[in-house]
Structure 1
Amino acid sequence: MRIDLHTHSSASDGTDSPAQLMRAAAAAGLDVVAITDHDTTAGWAEAFANRPAGLTVVPGIEMSCVYRGERRISLHLLGYFADPANDELQAEWARLRDGRLIRGRQMADNLEAAGYPISWAQVSALANGAPIGRPHLGRALVEAGVVPDVDAAFRELLSSRQPYYVRKADSDVFDAIRLICGAGGLPVFAHPLARRRGPVVSDEVVAQMAAAGLVGLEVDHPDQDPDDRADAARLARDLDLIPTGSSDYHGTNKRTPIAACTTDPDAFARLLELPAALVPVAD
């Protein structure tokens, strides 16, 4: 059984429509795929309606979070099987989407003011109503011929080290865990040791997250090198967290193909044993 528990559609910052995402999952030989768009469940209905026979779909979301300790560290939470009608969760997603909109416009304006041939109108059109993310800015820069691809846009212009960067209005990570659990969901820490993305939290912080309700760690992820994957696997064992694996697929916005990393079937079975508000959509 092949299982990918972290993918994105055009409902957030991927390039595949939810229907195309389902077809890509089936073509890659996946048996299970999770749709985990940023701060929205807008792609769920289309994904479920276009699920190929034999493919199981896990309803999920991804939330951008922050840990505020001695230093501010950005991190992401995946939430599986949460009730999308939960008022508190919906309110936080709405706040995050509004923050993304403001931040996206500020970054587009910063780049335009610096002479790059992009505009907020172009970025907004590329998002087409989805929560604005840096990949939309990257695609605008690619269309303008500034960079060859979105990965280059991130490296050269959109990283936090560049003057055009604007910080997101992220959720406190412990608040996000509480909200996901309160909506009957299962929170999993996405790419916890992806050091190439920036600083990571300590083992002690992950232990605090586990005590707050975290159920899993994304161990196998394209942005974690072999040593970091081994360290994440060790941490998952130490804290009795479920080790997952995922591609973090974004269509053509990233070079990583769907199913580049996968979840062990036994780990997925452990996830399914936990009580949750929703269940996978399957035959």
Structure 2
Amino acid sequence: MSGNATATKIDLHCHTTMSDGELTPAELVLRASVMQVDVLAITDHDSVAGWPAACAAQARVAPRMKLIPGVEISTRWQGFEIHILGWNFDPEHPELTALLARQQACRKERAEAIREKLIKQGIASNDLPVVAGDSAAVLTRLHFAEALERHGYVSDVQQAFDRYLGKGQCAYVAPNWCSIEEAVTAIRAASGSSSIAHPLAYDLSNKWLRKLVIEFKENGGDALEVSMSQQGPAQRQWLTELATDYELLGSVGSDFHKPSRFRELGRNLNLPESVQPVWYDWANMQ
């Protein structure tokens, strides 16, 4: 499997209940098997807590599927929150686990601050997620947005971000994430590969996106997420050009969070032939 993802169905970006996904690691592995995904990486936000359960499920229900260790690390860059994907690393490497522990501590502090701000806005405390200190799952803004929608404070998740949780709104709390360099260095220390996740999701101009890509590569980054499920041909072509221009490898991922007709595991993830896959030299993909 050293070539592109045309013959083999590969999905290197999805989430479980260990971050902001709706399916448990076992349920996600089962769904990936049903969708005939051949290679899967679960990339929860700042967490590898779902890895043991995913491995157990893979051995039980999908023995032919290859399961790759993965993570999605939130970073700060020039006032933007940029997500860095990591794969094929040692999930127990001390440098990586230490970074993820710091990230999760930041997430819990941020979640507590968001919760307090929402309560000050008149949201009932019982209607909001509880920040559990001993929980392995990470709490994200999406959890708060879904709670606001569920209890009728907003009509949908987007309105929750527009009214409360988005940057500049009354319940927004600036995150204290690690730098891109710290994320890439920790992934590399654990013998993994890294990629910028969903490069077009950050509202960056083309000039600033190129600036991001250059700095990512200078810090040892490996790849660009070129192929995503919800993506037009022009977007894929633009990301293909970026990967080619800066000699980066390419990755593919659905960014699956829950079953829906808009985004599905393994769907529409063919990597252009002109881009070398990030997995081209992974021993477990040969």
Q: TM-score, with normalisation over the residues of structure 1?
A: 0.85
Q: Which amino acid aligns with 2:180?
A: V
1:13 aligns with 2:20: yes
1:3-22 per-residue CA deviation (whole Å, 9 max, x = no partner) reads 11100011111110001101
**2:200 maps to what in 1?**
193
- Which 10-residue stretch deviates more, 212-221 or 55-64? 212-221
Alpha-carbon offset, residue 97 of structure 1? 0.3
Segments of structure 2 that go 5 or more residues without pairing to the other structure are 1-7
**2:160 maps to what in 1?**
153
Cα 1:157/1:75, change in 2 over 3 Å: same
**1:67 maps to what in 2?**
77
Q: Where in structure 2 are the equivalents of 1:34-53 lying within 5 Å?
A: 34-51=41-58, 52-53=62-63
Q: TM-score, with normalisation over the residues of structure 2?
A: 0.84
1:57 aligns with 2:64: no
Segments of structure 1 that go 5 or more residues without pairing to the other structure are none
Q: Where in structure 2 are the equivalents of 1:112-151 lying within 5 Å?
A: 112-119=119-126, 122-124=129-131, 129-151=136-158
**1:182 maps to what in 2?**
189
Q: Which runs of 4+ in 1 moved over 4 A?
A: 118-121, 222-226, 252-255, 265-269
1:58-98 per-residue CA deviation (whole Å, 9 max, x = no partner) reads 21001001123xxx222110000122222222111111101
Alpha-carbon offset, residue 120 of structure 1? 8.1
Alpha-carbon offset, residue 35 of structure 1? 0.4
C-alpha distance in structure 1 between counterparts of 2:77 and 2:261, whole Å: 26
1:130-156 per-residue CA deviation (whole Å, 9 max, x = no partner) reads 111112112221331223443443344
Q: Which amino acid aligns with 1:179?
A: A
C-alpha distance in structure 1 between counterparts of 2:50 and 2:167, whole Å: 28
Cα 1:160/1:25, change in 2 over 3 Å: same
1:230 aligns with 2:237: yes
Q: Pick from 79, 87, 108: which aligns with 1:80?
A: 87
1:5 and 1:263 in contact (8 A); partners too: no
Cα 1:152/1:48, change in 2 over 3 Å: farther
Question: RMSD in angstroms over aligned alpha carbons?
Answer: 2.9
**2:281 maps to what in 1?**
274
Q: Which amino acid aligns with 2:151?
A: A
Secondary structure, aligned partner of 1:272: coil
**2:35 maps to what in 1?**
28
Q: Which amino acid aligns with 2:71?
A: I
- Which 10-residue stretch deviates more, 145-154 or 3-12? 145-154
> What is the aligned residue count?
274
